[in-house]
Amino acid sequence: MRDLPQHRPVLAGAAYVGISEAGVRLEALPEGHLLHVLGAIEPAALAAELVKAGFTNSSIRKAGFRQWFVAGNVPLAPAGLDALTAALAGKAFVMDQSHGRVRFGISGRPSRLLLSKGTAVDLDPTVFPEGQSAMTMLGHISVQIVRTGNDSFELTVLRSFAESLWGELAHMAASAEKDSAQKS
């Protein structure tokens, strides 16, 4: 008998392989690591400490006043978390959110329009450039939206809302497909 439950990705299985409709691609991203960093440390200093602690392929996303999410596709090693926590001692606190949040990507030319149907954030590239992030609501679900490219975004959501948000976005993409077919 196992003492601890096994980790199972929340967006696993045939229903979450990826959706491509109306020029939009929706895909579950690897459940790597997501750290919440809080403190009076500048992003450049945080980036330097991340490199020292071995988080070379992680990205930093603003999550609020003096708050950042550090996200990456590689699962978290306890030694890396310990090294980062020690390096940031007295400057910031680190909390592992890997188990509690899920990331997925949405891309394609109409992705900005699709997301705009559910959020009040202005996603125009001149206002919301690549690397920009915002904590917002998408419909009734709290998410962090990050622009990762000209026509691509990454969404981070609480684990318990991931399936619901996936369903909402899939429905919106299917509706966009129907709308474009009717206009043709």
CATH code at position 83: 3.30.1360.120
Between residues 183 and 42, which one has the greater pLDDT? 42
Residue 147: inside a domain: yes
Could you tell me if residue 173 is inside a domain? Answer: yes
The domain in which residue 122 lies consists of 19-183
Residue 1 in any domain: the answer is: no
Distances, alpha carbon 102 to alpha carbons 2, 31, 47, 125, 182, in Å: 25, 7, 22, 25, 34
The average confidence (pLDDT) of the chain is 87
6 in any annotated domain:
no
- 78 located within any domain: yes
Question: How many domains would you assign to the chain?
Answer: 1
What pTM did the predictor assign? 0.84
Residue 150 falls inside a structural domain: yes
177 is a domain residue: yes
Mean pLDDT of 29-58: 92
Closest CA to 30 of 156, 117, 120, 124: 156
5 in a domain, yes or no?
A: no
Q: In the predicted model, what is the mean pLDDT of residues 84-96?
A: 94
Q: What is the pLDDT of residue 89?
A: 93
Q: Distance from first CA to last CA of the chain, Å, rounded?
A: 59
Instruction: Return the pLDDT at 15.
Output: 57
